[in-house]
């Protein structure tokens, strides 16, 4: 059973975390209606009208509208780049973490990513390596 990370455990994990930035362009569009969506691991999360769908290949996730506007830059059309840096740590065991969209799970080899406002989310190991570069 995955361990649910407490706020104190998350703070301890990120005490010496490195900084990363995104290296990929994504497509994005505004969420029109409240809806549930499913992560790669089968977690059911929630997007609100006014949030944004961020689409990277076959992967899609929601980002709160205010966070999207603060952390993504339009490149052209519906292509965007995430401009905000994040902290990230590799995980060695299964875990769950509360996100703005619901409870998300990760496994050994995944990364736990945290933005400047403290929100955390899991990213699979291969996707993290493809999307992020250390700064």
State the burial class of residue 33 (Cβ atoms within 10 Å of its Cβ: 0-12, 13-18, 19+). exposed
To which H or E segment does residue 66 belong? helix 65-71
**Model pTM?**
0.92
**30, two tokens:** 């505004």
Provide the CB-side half-sphere exposure for 92 (13 A, CA). Answer: 1
Question: What pLDDT digit, counting tens, does each position of 32-86 carry?
Answer: 999 999 998 999 999 999 999 999 999 999 999 999 999 999 999 999 999 999 9
Between the alpha carbon of residue 12 and those of residues 8, 21, 106, 121, the distances in Å are: 6, 21, 18, 16
* Residue 2, pLDDT above cutoff 90: no
Q: Where are the domains of the chain?
A: 3-134
Q: How confident is the model at residue 1 (pLDDT cuts 50, 70, 90)?
A: confident
């Amino acid at each position: 059973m995955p361990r649910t990370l407490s706020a104190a455990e998350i703070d301890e994990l990120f005490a010496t975390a490195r900084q990363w930035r995104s290296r990929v362009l994504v497509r994005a569009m505004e969420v029109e209606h409240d809806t549930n969506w499913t992560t790669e691991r089968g977690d059911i999360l929630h997007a609100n009208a006014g949030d944004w769908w961020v689409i990277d290949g076959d992967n899609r996730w929601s980002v709160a509208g205010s966070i999207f506007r603060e952390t993504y830059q339009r490149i052209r059309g519906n292509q965007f780049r995430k401009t905000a840096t994040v902290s990230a740590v590799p995980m060695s065991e299964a875990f769950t973490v509360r996100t703005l969209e619901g409870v998300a799970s990760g496994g050994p080899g995944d990364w736990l990513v945290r933005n400047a406002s403290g929100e955390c989310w899991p990213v699979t190991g291969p996707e993290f390596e493809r999307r992020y570069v250390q700064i």
